[in-house]
Amino acid sequence: MAISSTGLVTYIYIVYELLFNVRNHATSLGSDIHKAYLFPAALESLIWLIYPIAWGVCEGGNVIAPDSEAVFYGILDIATIICIPALLLFSLRDIDLARLVPSGPRAEVPVEKAAHRNGTNGAGGLDSSEVANPV
């Protein structure tokens, strides 16, 4: 019971984030970005809602056969993993993607990584012109 309650609370939180907080951010970037975001986000939330129903008629209630269960989950997975991201990319095709890049002081990322400090490339101090020669 605790696992299903935790899953339900998590689902509600994720849908809230997708359909409210992230949608508000998409609206602040422009109406075209909002339109491109809203339908895929709503469709994703709806498909995620079908997964517990699939479990209920498959493993939970043993209503459909195992091969039909595999087809059911396969269709949901294809829709979630392939179709919705493709729909999102298709809807973003006419939008300048530079508008989606965050700007401001929080968006700055340090260029120098720990392995590349002081001219080393993370290989023990050798640079690209030196070759390690084991004897």
Q: 124 in helix, strand or coil? A: coil
Please identify which residue in the block is written with the tokens 């595999």.
70
CB hemisphere CA count around 131 (13 angstroms): 3
Annotated domain spans of the chain: 2-101
Q: How far apart are CA 32 and CA 27, in angstroms?
A: 8
Chain segment 3-62, per-residue pLDDT in tens: 578 888 888 999 899 888 888 888 888 899 999 999 999 999 999 989 888 988 988 888
Prediction pTM value: 0.66
Q: How far apart are CA 33 and CA 93, in angstroms?
A: 11
Chain segment 76-111, per-residue pLDDT in tens: 999 999 999 999 999 989 888 888 877 766 555 555
